[in-house]
Chain A
Amino acid sequence: MKPSPFTYHRPGTIDEAVEMLGALGATGKVLAGGQSLVPLMSMRLAAPEHLVDINHVAGLDRVEVEERTVRVGATVRHRDVELHDGAHAAIPLIRQALVHVAHPTIRNRGTTVGSLVHADPAAEMPAVLVLLDGSVELRSSRGTRSVPAAEFFVGPMESSTTADELAVAATFARPPHGSGTAFHELARRHGDYAMCGVGAVVTTDGDNAVTAARAALISVGAGPVLVDLAGAVTGSGGGFQEAAVRDLLDAQIDPEDDIHASAEYRRHLAHVLTARVLDEAYAAAVVTRRGEEVA
């Protein structure tokens, strides 16, 4: 249970880090929080020849809350995002999801951007990025590009980040006025990987009728699975047709059997948890809209 030897690099600036990654190519890997990478290395499932430690790179440790977005730098710990009141006020879904990420002790070290790049299909934050139409900012010696969430997650444990690129930040977009959100998951043990997890954003108009509803599911596909549920809104606009929600989900999710749960059980969880988050998100939307009108 010890990692294999590697050469360690500790850049102080983004430019230095990007230059190193460019020179190292496929032999290099970025070390941020390391809460996924270090155990993979200890189990010898990963053995990078070079690690570029970005923990001492200046300017990557900020959470920036803007009018329409929350931008999270590459070395910001999950826990700092979770406890950030400005980020929570702007986008409650971020904290709603983060409390499900492992244990607080892991969140103290693990980074949100690192979790996105790691692209585990069971991870919560990729689902949040997809649900909020977020993007990841990638820097290399070739320049900077911003990759929308829909294109960022390529497959299980695979993002569109290339070997010479450093993910410097992720940007989450605030949902439209009159929206509510919720996130729930079920795991065998508290803090363990979810057998299924679902986040939802429900948007309402002035009559409390649903105008948009989307869910993102984890652990039931190759990556976060985004499902548009607007087609399942009831005629009166205040609720969802259960059977229609199930059909829309079943058309998109592709759960697999493993030692933790059967595919059928995961599908069942997807149905139940989605119904639950839709109800909660709708209730939150109504409350939020009332609050906004009073203010």
Chain B
Amino acid sequence: MTREALVPVAFRVNGSPRQLEVPARRLLSDALRHDLRLTGTHVGCEHGVCGACTVLVDGRPVRSCLVFAVSLEGSEITTVEGCCNAEGGMGPVQQAFQDCHGLQCGFCTPGFITTITAYIDENPDPSEVEAREAISGNLCRCTGYQNIVAAVQRAAELRASTSPTGGPGSTGGPGSTGGSGAIGGAGT
């Protein structure tokens, strides 16, 4: 059997330019995990239902298991590893998940972090109903969602308190342990 042809593709991931040569059928989720070793993005159902693999493409949440990496030439991709604050510590959404105990096993968390990061940019003051709607495309089998809904609202508060004045991370918190240790950022 002949070796599968490789296709070159260039995009930015968490601000850094990346160039890959991958088979055309390589899903973005696999390109991130296998080729770029960014294992924070988790693969659950692999057909677009669970939301665990959600990343941001040009600022908007997208299922990374439902796009081919080669199709994203020129795009700006943000994974959970890029949802940290300027110092590499926990970003507001990660901090909110810690504050509200918004995760148990943590498998679904990267998809929630990316989805909520984009959502609170769009809606900086969500009601509880809006918070539920915002996460309705992400499945969690542990928490029962109550604490995740609370975390959406807490994240919006943290974002509001940090963004205009003190800069990201000014709320501090004990979790500023660096990007790789941030919630949802640890690889599996």
User: B166 CB to closest chain A CB, in angstroms?
Assistant: 30
B66 x A79 contact (CB < 8 A): no
Give the Cβ gap from A78 to chain B, nearest Cβ, in Å: 12
Residues on A with beta carbons closer than 8 Å to the beta carbon of B137: 102-106, 191
**Contact between chains at B67 and A109 (CB < 8 Å):** yes
* Chain B CB within 8 A of A130 CB: no
Chain A residues near B30 (CB, 8 Å)? 2
A31 interface hit (Cβ, 8 Å):
yes
* CB-based contact A55/B71 at 8 Å: yes
Taken residue by residue from 83 to 110, chain A's Cβ proximity to chain B (1 for < 8 Å, 0 otherwise) reads as 0000000000000000000111110110
Count of residues in B whose CB is under 8 Å from the partner chain = 30
Q: Whole-angstrom distance between the alpha carbons of A97 and B155 in the complex? A: 30
Q: Are A34 and B67 in contact (CB under 8 A)?
A: yes
Q: In the complex the two chains form, what is the Cα distance from A199 to B48 in whole Å? A: 26
A5 touches which of B23, B62, B74 (Cβ 8 Å): B23
Contacts of B54 in A (CB 8 A): 105
B71 & A53 in contact (Cβ 8 Å cutoff): yes
Question: What residue in chain A is nearest B114 (Cβ atoms)?
Answer: A105
In the complex, which of the residues A1, A4, A7, A10 contacts B47, with contact meaning CB atoms closer than 8 Å?
Answer: A1
Alpha-carbon distance A89/B124, docked complex (angstroms) = 25
Chain B binding site: helix, strand, loop or mixed by DSSP? mixed
Q: How far is the CB of A93 from chain B (nearest CB, A)?
A: 21
A209 at the interface (CB under 8 A from B): no
**Interface residues of A, count at CB 8 A:** 31
| B24 close to A8 (CB less than 8 A) | yes
In the assembled complex, A56 has its CB within 8 A of some CB on chain B = yes
Query: How many Å lie between the Cα of A134 and that of B103 in the bound state?
Result: 46
**Which of A3, A4, A7 is most buried by chain B, counting CB atoms within 10 A of its CB?**
A3
Which residues of chain B are within 8 angstroms of A56 by Cβ–Cβ distance? 73-74
Inter-chain contacts of B46 with A (CB < 8 A): 1, 42
- A5-B25 contact in complex given A31-B71, A104-B137, A106-B137, C-beta closer than 8 Å: yes
B residues in contact with A7, CB < 8 Å: 5, 24
Bound complex: CA A24 to CA B80 (Å)? 39
B residues whose Cβ falls under 8 Å from a Cβ of A: 4-5, 7, 23-25, 27, 30, 46-48, 51, 54, 57, 60-63, 65-68, 70-71, 73-74, 115, 134, 136-137
Given contacts A2-B30, A34-B67, A38-B48, 11 further A-B pairs with CB under 8 A are: A35-B66, A38-B68, A39-B48, A43-B47, A53-B70, A56-B74, A79-B60, A104-B134, A106-B137, A109-B62, A109-B63
Could you write out 30 A-B pairs with CB less than 8 Å apart? A2-B27, A2-B30, A3-B27, A5-B4, A5-B23, A6-B25, A8-B7, A31-B68, A34-B68, A35-B63, A38-B27, A38-B65, A38-B68, A39-B47, A42-B27, A42-B46, A42-B47, A42-B65, A51-B68, A53-B71, A56-B73, A79-B60, A102-B137, A103-B137, A104-B134, A106-B63, A109-B57, A109-B66, A190-B136, A191-B136
